[in-house]
A and B are shown apart, each in its own frame.
Chain A
Amino acid sequence: MTDTARLSEIVASHAEREGALLPILHDVQAEFGFIPEAALDPIATALRLSRAEVAGVIGFYHDFRRQPAGRHVLKLCRAEACQAMGGVALQALLEHALGQKIGETKDGITFEAVYCLGLCACAPAAQVDGRLVGRLDAAAVDALAEEMRA
């Protein structure tokens, strides 16, 4: 199936929904890894929105990407409960081990901040390619970095 056909299929599958834009964007991103430029017009047309309105919604939410992420995505929680358990130092260790700052995509690794994963009683926590990990410490950093480089 071509990308265009798949996109039409996704848009059509949400046709009956009230407020369908977010569900459509989630599905498009799940399918393509990001929201391709070419998806904006068909979505806008189907929902009777302007292209700018669709772009505005994509831009508002942290989750939606206009460019593909790295082959690995590491999300580290920066919120207070994780800070109380050494999260700030952990971030510095990870930045050093990965050779990149939080918020950067480099060498196929996307390292970004997340504000709370609801794992506040087993902090510090992170999400590694979708998998949740808690009770992180300095000893876990090398293994995490190695997994990211693989």
Chain B
Amino acid sequence: MRFWVPADAAAKACGADAVAAAIAAEAARRGIPVEIIRNGTRGMVWLEPLVEIEAPEGRLGFGPMTVADVPSLFAAPAKHPKALGPTEEIPFFKRQTRLTFARCGRTDPLSLSDYEAGGGLAGLRVALAKKPEEIVDDVVTSGLRGRGGAGFPTGIKWRTVQLARAPKKYIVCNADEGDSGSFADRMLMEGDPFCLIEGMAIAALATGATQGFVYIRSEYPDAIAVMRRAVEIATAAGVIGDAMLGSGHAFHIEIREGAGAYVCGEETSLLNSLEGKRGVVRAKPPLPALQGFMAAPTVVNNVLSLAAVPWIMAEGPEAYSAIGIGRSRGTIPLQIAGNVKFGGLFETGFGITLGEIVNDIAGGTASGRPVKAVQVGGPLGAYHPVSDFELAFCYECFAEQKGLVGHAGLVVHDDSADMMALARFAMEFCAVESCGKCTPCRIGAVRGVETLDRIAAGDGAALALLDDLCELMKTGSLCALGGFTPYPVQSALRHFPEEFTPVREAAE
């Protein structure tokens, strides 16, 4: 029998290792030969650990599995209480448009032959047959924009690096995924690491870079381990290294570990960290594309931006840009988290509404209570009330509503959420994580916490002060940390003003 038990960090955090061990032990007890493959996750995290058995009709899913559920898996799988039927027929999975995550959860993450059998390396082969400027043109045509949050056109960034004249250029992958509610980078690196490597290799061909770095946050030990191994395997197999797939192009990748600083997700701060310095934000210009790592031209792209490229090269940029709405083309891997019934990763074309995501796909709250607010785009994203549920998922649509798509993480809160406490947390987090370079962020966040405490204590006059402070942080901060922290604060104020008004208990 062949079993699949995810080794993804979320699956492991829910007991996948113990379940895998129980399957091996039960098989030994019954004298049945088994093969247990540790795949990535399918992204249906509420079903983790999601065990699959290979059957003639496809892979059958069982979940969420516990050790106690294992023995009956061998007796009568079809009648198992945790039986889910064919995994790919589960509506949450079936409704997706999985381009970037096509292989994630299906394959053995560290099997290069699995990767190729699943369509891997086709994009790199296409790119090797093209001129650098043609690759850049394709990425521009695809409409791909930075999936880290800023939404800057990826192809334009590549073109800047390509046109720069320098003895050495770099590809830096930003895998410092610190936003609460986001886990797509982690999931891809743990579940399909070669996809990221291939994306970086294509970026290297397009720009003439010879060295790449993946900067992964230290909170992701599993992703770091998988990526290190994948780079070793890809280098040994000649996919990257001194001659990419036997071509004349050299490209090496090194995995670097962050050290617990949220601000290092900001590209210039990340570059300083990579250079061995304090992760302090740099003023722009100069753009990293011209003077990035060690002052050399550098592409800094998020994991998801780079991982989208192999598909774009293999299937053509038009196929990618055919999906989506407005200036938001292609697919976006939504990460649905917090208080939801069905939490996980859902890759779909841009244009789906917030209400569809929360009510339809996520099934509402896990607690069964009404939804109060959804924070979209991480700790710097706005809180959206239910009245925003018609909002379509696209960069411009969210910007118009004074929000942001960010890294497409959604955190759902039920009606027990304390919006003033969440606003205070936003300021507190900014104070903890500020790099200290600019005053609006370093001092403003501390004053923000104090001002919210004054409001909580009944000082209504502090409300105007808070608003003023938020405007100053927005316009005066050097980067998105100080500049966007006002988004959750002001959206909470705007949509839930009653929670910021001191209530006098008159009848006491």
Contact = CB atoms under 8 A, between A and B. Distances in A.
A91 to B, nearest CB: 12
Interface string B424-439: 0100010011010000
B499 to A, nearest CB: 15
A116 B10 CA distance: 12
B458 interface: no
Q: Which 5 residue pairs across A and B have the least CB separation, nearest first?
A: A21-B276, A121-B343, A79-B180, A84-B338, A120-B337
A20 B13 contact: no
A22 B256 CA distance: 9
B181 A122 contact: no
Interface stretch (A2-10, A56-64, A142-150): A56-64
Interface string B197-223: 000000000000000000000111110
B311 to A, nearest CB: 23
Given A21-B276, A22-B257, A116 B9 contact: no
Nearest to B44: A121
A18 B260 contact: no
19 contacts: A18-B294, A22-B257, A23-B256, A57-B276, A57-B277, A60-B261, A62-B259, A63-B259, A80-B425, A84-B337, A115-B262, A116-B182, A117-B9, A118-B182, A120-B180, A121-B340, A121-B345, A122-B14, A125-B13
Contacts of A122: 10, 13-14, 45-46, 48, 343
Given A80-B181, A80-B379, A118 B294 contact: no
Interface in B407-453: 409, 411-414, 417, 421-422, 425, 429, 432-433, 435
Interface in A14-44: 17-23, 25-26
A60 B261 CA distance: 8
B13 A19 contact: no
B323 to A, nearest CB: 24
B494 interface: no
B63 to A, nearest CB: 12
B366 interface: yes
B80 interface: no
A119 B10 contact: yes
A134 interface: yes
Given A23-B257, A60-B279, A127-B219, 16 more contacts: A62-B259, A64-B259, A80-B181, A80-B379, A84-B412, A85-B339, A114-B219, A115-B180, A118-B183, A121-B336, A121-B343, A122-B10, A122-B13, A125-B13, A134-B14, A135-B13
A131 to B, nearest CB: 8
Interface in B195-252: 218-222
Contacts of B276: 19-22, 47, 57
Given A84-B413, A120-B343, A130 B13 contact: no
A134 B8 CA distance: 12
Contacts of B340: 121
With a 10 A CB-CB cut-off, give which of A85, A114, A121, A127 has the most chain B CB atoms. Answer: A121
B221 A116 contact: no
A90 interface: no
Question: What is the size category of the interface that chain B forms with chain A?
Answer: 35 or more
A35 to B, nearest CB: 11
Given A81-B181, A83-B422, A114-B219, A19 B335 contact: no
A9 B48 CA distance: 42
B45 A26 contact: no
Contact of A63 (B218, B220, B277): B218
B186 interface: yes
Given A61-B259, A79-B379, A120 B14 contact: no
Nearest to B211: A18
Given A80-B425, A83-B422, A115-B433, A61 B375 contact: no
Interface string A82-99: 111100100000000000
B274 interface: yes
Nearest to B183: A118
Contact of A132 (B13, B182, B257, B422): B13
Interface of B: 9-10, 12-14, 45-46, 48, 177-183, 185-186, 218-222, 254, 256-262, 273-280, 293-294, 335-340, 343-345, 366, 375, 379, 409, 411-414, 417, 421-422, 425, 429, 432-433, 435
A123 interface: yes
Contact of A118 (B219, B412, B417, B421): B219
Contacts of A119: 9-10, 13, 183
Contact of B417 (A77, A84, A132): A84
Contacts of A78: 425
A121 B10 contact: yes
Contacts of A20: 276
Given A80-B181, A120-B183, A26 B259 contact: yes
Given A115-B178, A116-B219, A134-B14, A80 B422 contact: yes
A80 B375 contact: yes
Contacts of B179: 116
A133 interface: yes
Nearest to A20: B276
Contacts of A85: 338-339, 366
B492 to A, nearest CB: 12
Contact of A130 (B45, B182, B221, B409): B221
A119 B433 CA distance: 20
A121 B45 contact: yes
B147 to A, nearest CB: 16
